[in-house]
Chain A
Amino acid sequence: MEFNIDDLPVLFPYPRIYPEQYAYMVDLKKTLDAGGNCVLEMPSGTGKTVTLLSLIVAYQQYYPSHRKLIYCSRTMSEIEKALVELKALMKFRTERLGHEEEFRGLGLTSRKNLCLHPSVRREKSGNVVDARCRSLTAGFVKEKKEKGEDVEVCVYHDNLDLLESHNLIPNGVWTLDGLLRYGEEHKQCPYFTARRMMQYCNVIIYSYHYLLDPKIAERVSKDLSKDCIVVFDEAHNIDNVCIESLSTDITDDSLRRATRGAQNLENKINEMRDSDKQKLQDEYEKLVEGLRGADDGRQEDSFMANPTLPDDLLKEAVPGNIRRAEHFVAFLRRFIEYLKTRMKVRQVISETPPSFLSHLKEHTFIEKKPLRFCAERLTSLVRTLELTNIEDYQPLQEVATFATLVATYEKGFLLILEPFESDTAEVPNPVLHFICLDAAIAIKPVFDRFSSVVITSGTMSPLEMYPKMLDFPTVVQESYSMTLARRSFLPMIVTRGSDQASISTSFQVRNEPSVVRNYGSLLTEFAKITPDGLVVFFPSYLYMESIISMWQGMGILDEVWKYKLILVETPDAQETSLALETYRTACCNGRGAVLLCVARGKVSEGIDFDHQYGRTVLCIGVPFQYTESRILKARLEFLRETYRIRENDFLSFDAMRHAAQCLGRVLRGKDDYGLMVLADRRFQKKRAQLPKWINQALLDADVNLSTDMAVSSARRFLRTMAQPFRAKDQEGISTWSMDDLRQHQEKMDDDRIKELRAEQEREQNPALAAQVAARNGRESDYEMDDDDEAEMMALDNDA
């Protein structure tokens, strides 16, 4: 369908539109016009992606500025989905407009997914693929080849150089599969095609990390212009992504391997000094001159980028005491030895970067400044030495990253040394966590660089938390409700078991037999009445395991087994995917299944349980984080001191966003239906923190149920859902045809006009207004006079 928002013609690739989609577009356009940021929450399964894309593409094509769209999503499958949507949209636009637009849309993912090289692509680990690819495509390899040396190169990569550099791939939208196929046909590397064409694209779809992780962003997203529109989809976890991108962990093992790496490096340097002294000398000269940008052209194959954010990058010459290659290696070794000594301590230490640095200086005479240049210097050295087996130097690179980060940031970071894995462990396994506490640090350059940033997800309540945590201003903050023609999902809060004893997974009572039994009977009851799939979420693996074993002892699992197949999620990805597959099969063939999984696990995010795959989601317990973790404690304290967010507020916000994510899994569209059961006493108070669309559907009668009441109301609900439901019923309510939309627009326009007119009247007739005011004034004056007169008379009388 085709319609206008203000003056902007929008082509929407479906014949009908949801009211919330329209509202979303209006708000989005407002944001883009104003040139600011926004936070938007739209229920899952209401076509967020296509709404976003169709509005922004229309915006791009209509206005002369042609602002580029950077669409960031979380997983590979979501990227692929978005690309398919975009492709469909562009096809629709072509049909409608009658001509093909000048348009290019590309997706970017890791080398591992886009490699065509016959042997490299068969590697299993992404790191190995990266390293091997670099060793085949690095600039010096090609130079060597040209000189006639016998080195292995990647033919797919080298073919790219034969093409025009701004036209490596024809216009159109390329899904990842399509890109691979095109690459295979034309014998060109899909990964580098996408990387190099990014500047010439209208739409780029890639993962968060390409924008947030400074190590990658520096290389990939450097050339994007300021007026790009940045969209973070599924952004409810964006603060954690930000934090992870600036944090590193160092273990004993990585230090040992780093030492070996440093040793190798030294050997290489000695070799090179014997064979090719000139090269080392050249590098040295360059460093003396401070020519850091001299070989920016080769950026895309560089070993590692500076892990600090572009604003904090020190733009001067490398300090004198690490200019020489051998000096630098000795420097690294000293630093590694120091870390090793620190790791021998057998108590927990948490310290700030300045105190770490002063201790470091005291014992090793390493100053802050050369430490800051560590990453930079290592990259330069690796390039000079023309190392090919880069994967051996991975741990060394980690140490250098850590060194640079710790010397760059003083505020918002913390070092925590944990010598034991758990409190009860006897064998030490020390880990040095360098953690970023402030999510705003990593995302700040994004907000600084791009004028419009859109943060959106299905579950972002409470909305004001995100601008607070990430420290940015918004133009629009909006949460949309879901318009439904029938009540297609039933949220319930179950607080008591059938025996009226309250149920909760709070630490004191979680292992009490009565609580466990009540949860068990809840599961049994819902297994009885739910058709097809039932998904159960637990707060943690630990609790899930203990409760399952207790259920086994109580015979509850045997009871559930009569109705459903039981499958369990494990931390292992492959086992879980096998379980998921079995679950799907069982749901399709009518056996029905229960999937027991964890609210923070892999299943809770990114895997949809649409239609028969999920008719009930049962959330057992509030999924709080493990609060004894020192990292979490540090972060909570930081949040309290810096952003005035109280511990409990944050914990409860975090728990509820995960709970909402879990609930959202089951409802993936308007013709879908499902039960959402929150089983914990504590949910009652947290109700307000659920997303608006869930909270609205949660009736007051359903917030404090016991198991039997919940079951009976669920039965009633399922019976209504079993009635035939035609698409026609939804028309005009939850889906709008063109006419409905026009009506709505007219109504909105009328409202606007009325409002404007009222305002205008107020403005235009100041004389009238003044008259009225004056008359009022006069009248009151007269009254006053009367009073005065009366008073005077009284005075007279007195006199």
Chain B
Amino acid sequence: MSRKPASALPTISTEDMCPVCKTIRYLNKDMEFLINPECYHSMCSNCVNRLFNDGPNQCPYAGCHRTLRRRGFRSAFFGDLSVEREVDIRRRVAAVFNQAEDDFETLRDFNNYLQMVEDLTFDLVSGSDAERRAAEATLQQWEAEHKADIERNRRAGKEADEQSRRRLAAEREAARQRRVEALREAEEEKLERVRNREAELDSLAQGQTGGVGGGGGAQRVQLKRRGHAAAARAVEAAVNTAASAAAASSAAADVGRLSIRGLKEKKKPPPPEGPYDPFGGMDFVPSRYKVHEGLTHPAIEKYKGDPGHVTGGYNFDEYTTRAMFEAFAGLGVFIEDEKEAGIGLSAGEVASMSAGIAAVGDRMEVD
């Protein structure tokens, strides 16, 4: 292994060489570059340790006279350090200007606000010194003026973040569950198939010599078993989904009530039947009069003593009741009305009745 000539080096990009100590990645495999948000000059971690272990020191870049501390260093998220710097500034701005769309009356106001913030950020990022100072002042002024608002929005934003994170996690978990479920189902199906096959072989081995009939029987048994298994699975699945739905609903209670479409309402049991009523609900309490106990009237008085009416097992009151019923029966019934409405039989019934009669007539003739 010969050492590479120096002329091969220029291909090495800045990503692979430390600008301070000129170490290249070839020599130090796990070289890591760090930056300090004071000046965004990158150098390798070795250099940082070497220069800043003994307390604050000046940035080693030529012309940069900022004093840096060891703990300010971190690794950059972006490859482009100008973007890194911009994002850092944005972080600061976003912490102050954190109004949401709901805080504005119209969308247009909100858009104007957004543009104002963007302008300010731009001044901070790439403006001249004066612009930067002005923007900085605005920022601080706003912060002072809207302290309560900012705090409130910050909390609201955090909450929303938290909520969305929780939702994402819940979704992921649900997906994982479903996957496991599906795997298990497939596995079970496979097992079932093997079992069926064995059962079939067993039944063949036990040798119903009946040939066709025996085979058919086995097949039928197998089909039946498969049907049973499917039904059992369906029930199980239903139970599972119900359980998981319940779990999900309790989990998602703070997100919003979960409603499941397509769930059938439970079947109600039929109302309990009362004792058998031979009159079909008709009641015989008279509505137009009232029968008094021990009614007296000269017309019936003579029968009270009549042995034909007071023999054993015969109640005289029943006689009077019947007499009254007969006297009042038919009151409140108007023949004309009933004629118009029919006698409570529908036309269809009448027709079928007449047809029936005709049919009977026919048959009679034939006979």
Contact = CB atoms under 8 A, between A and B. Distances in A.
Interface of A: 288, 316-324, 326-327, 330, 333-334, 337-338, 340-341, 344, 352, 354-355, 358, 363-365, 637, 640-641, 767, 770-771, 774-775, 777-778
A453 to B, nearest CB: 27
B179 A770 contact: no
A770 B352 contact: yes
A337 B161 contact: no
Contacts of B79: 337, 340-341, 344
B63 to A, nearest CB: 25
B78 A337 contact: yes
A459 B280 CA distance: 67
A316 B78 contact: no
A318 B91 CA distance: 23
B107 interface: yes
Interface string B340-367: 0000000000011001100110000000
B77 interface: yes
A273 B119 CA distance: 17
User: Taking each of A320, A358, A771, A774, which has the highest tally of chain B beta carbons within 10 Å of its own beta carbon?
Assistant: A320
A767 B115 CA distance: 82
A640 B164 CA distance: 25
Given A338-B78, A774-B356, A778-B356, A365 B87 contact: yes
A321 B117 contact: yes
B118 A321 contact: yes
B94 A320 contact: no
A777 B90 CA distance: 89
Interface in B95-109: 107-108
Contacts of A774: 352, 355-356, 359
A63 B114 CA distance: 56
User: Taking each of A316, A322, A637, A771, which has the highest tally of chain B beta carbons within 10 Å of its own beta carbon?
Assistant: A771
Contacts of A334: 83, 86-87
Contacts of B65: none
Nearest to B109: A320
B355 A771 contact: yes
B111 A320 contact: yes
Contacts of B28: none
A326 to B, nearest CB: 7
A340 B81 CA distance: 13
B179 A637 contact: yes
B86 A320 contact: no
B179 A327 contact: no
A326 B125 CA distance: 13
A771 B83 contact: no
A341 B78 contact: yes
A317 B114 CA distance: 13
B122 A363 contact: no
Nearest to B101: A369
B52 to A, nearest CB: 26
B80 interface: yes
B112 interface: yes
Given A327-B122, A334-B86, A363-B87, A770 B114 contact: no
A324 B123 CA distance: 14
B325 interface: no
A641 B87 contact: no
A317 B111 contact: yes
Which 10 pairs between the two chains have the least Cβ-Cβ distance? A320-B114, A320-B111, A320-B115, A321-B118, A321-B114, A337-B83, A365-B90, A337-B78, A775-B359, A337-B80
Nearest to A775: B359
Interface size of B as a range: 35 or more
Contacts of A352: 168, 171
Interface of B: 77-80, 83, 86-87, 90-91, 94, 107-108, 110-119, 122, 125, 161, 164-165, 168, 171, 175, 178-179, 182, 351-352, 355-356, 359-360
Contacts of B86: 330, 334
Contacts of B171: 352
Contacts of B182: 640
Contacts of A327: 115, 118, 122
Contacts of A344: 79
Contacts of B359: 771, 774-775, 778
Nearest to A327: B118
A320 B83 contact: no
B340 to A, nearest CB: 25
Nearest to B354: A774
A643 to B, nearest CB: 14
Contact of A641 (B108, B116, B178): B178
Given A324-B115, A365-B90, A358 B165 contact: yes
Contacts of A767: 351, 355
Contacts of A775: 356, 359
23 contacts: A288-B111, A317-B111, A321-B114, A321-B118, A326-B122, A330-B122, A330-B125, A334-B83, A334-B86, A337-B78, A337-B83, A341-B79, A352-B168, A358-B168, A364-B90, A365-B87, A365-B94, A637-B179, A770-B351, A770-B352, A771-B355, A777-B356, A778-B360
B107 A317 contact: yes
A592 B257 CA distance: 71
B115 A323 contact: yes
A158 to B, nearest CB: 39
B120 to A, nearest CB: 11
Contacts of A330: 86, 122, 125
B114 A319 contact: yes
A327 B175 CA distance: 39
A354 to B, nearest CB: 6
A440 B19 CA distance: 54
A358 B111 contact: no
A80 B171 CA distance: 49
Nearest to B169: A355
Contacts of A641: 175, 178
Given A320-B112, A364-B90, 5 more contacts: A334-B86, A337-B79, A365-B90, A770-B352, A778-B356
B172 to A, nearest CB: 9
Nearest to A369: B101
Contacts of A363: 77, 87
Contacts of B125: 330
Contacts of B116: 320
Contacts of A324: 115, 118-119
A365 B80 contact: no
A778 B361 CA distance: 13
Contacts of A323: 111, 115
